[in-house]
Amino acid sequence: MNIHISHGLRLSIAAWLSFSIAMLAGVENAYWAAMPVWVISQQTRGMMFQRGIYRIIGTLTGALLGLAILKITNQAWIIIALISLTIFITIFAMRISLGTKGYAPQMMAVTIIIILVPALMLKHHAWELALSRIQCTFIGVIVVTIITTRFTQTTPDEVWHSGLLKWRSNFSLHDPAQKRHDKIKALRFALLASAGVLLCACFFYLSGWAAGELVTLGTCIFTMALASLKKPYDMALKMLIGVVVGVCIAFLYRFAVQPYFLSPLLISLTIIPFLLLGGLLRCWVRTAAPALDGNMCFLLASQAGMSAVPVKTAMNECLALILAVALVSSVYRLILRPDG
């Protein structure tokens, strides 16, 4: 238990430092900086370094592609089609990838979506979004690596080799017919998921609802997050629980805390209890999976470091994320069946 508590405290400290550094440096959307902390930390150093590198590569590539798309066209329907195409390609790549290789395209797609969706809905400045996304990624990756590396176990050579032999043994069992079958399943999975995202983006774009941006953004991110898992059907309910809890806590923060603490120092102090709770839950076996989604969505929904907004606006934005995860979880549970 002490080991779990110590690791949880380190994650909380890393998330808090990442957020504080980004906010004090004047980076837009500083809460993004804490997000890499929750997903990069791994049981071994090699896995952690690998995910950190993949996240940086994916973010840089996605930022360049997102900006290039907006440079070429600003037509709404073309952008919506490209969002759906991005989801399709990414999910297909993740479903046929081995190990953590799918993490780079996932981060690339997330960054593209973060740039395109706000530009589509609210005409935000794409360059500022891309730059802040890159800055926050570097801050988060560097901070969590520095703080947790010393306490992360190295993997002995024999363990690595035994894992490699096991992988080669399993891989050799996949004959060409099995590979074709896996690709067909991945293709079907990607088609259904991207079609759902396309319908969602079209509906909320036509609705004119301001919070529709967050529904579309959340739908894209949650869809890819579940698609990256080996058994998304089983994890859909856990994601739903984690996101709902994280968003509700975020609304409490925006309603009871955010409007009353305005200086950067006070803002960084007020978020400590929430990150501390998130870190401890992330390291407890029973709550680790939903806590990951809860921590990420708390940061996204809390808009920590941003200016306070009216309660009605905050509620709409929080409900938008809950609606997004409810839609995605329902589709995965009802349509995208196990091993689909």
Per-residue model confidence (pLDDT) at position 314: 94
- pLDDT confidence of residue 152: 59
- Ranges under pLDDT 50 in the chain: 1, 156-172, 340
Q: What is the pLDDT of residue 254?
A: 95
How far is residue 90's CA from residue 180's CA, in Å, rounded to a whole number? Answer: 18
- What is the structure's pLDDT at 334? 86
pLDDT of residue 185: 85
CB of 61 closer than 8 Å to CB of 105: no
DSSP single-letter state for residue 31: G
pTM reported for the whole predicted model: 0.86
- Give residue 285's pLDDT: 82
pLDDT at 169: 44
For 63-121, write each residue's pLDDT tens digit.
999 989 988 988 889 999 999 999 999 999 988 876 677 788 999 999 999 888 888 76
Q: Give the contacts of 99 (CB within 8 A, at least 6 positions apart).
A: none
Q: Residue 301's pLDDT is what? A: 95
pLDDT computed for residue 163 by the predictor: 43
Measure the CA–CA gap between 296 and 39, rounded to whole angstroms. Answer: 9
Q: How far is CA 8 from CA 94, 97, 277, 283, in A?
A: 29, 30, 9, 6
Confidence at residue 155, expressed as pLDDT on a 0 to 100 scale: 52
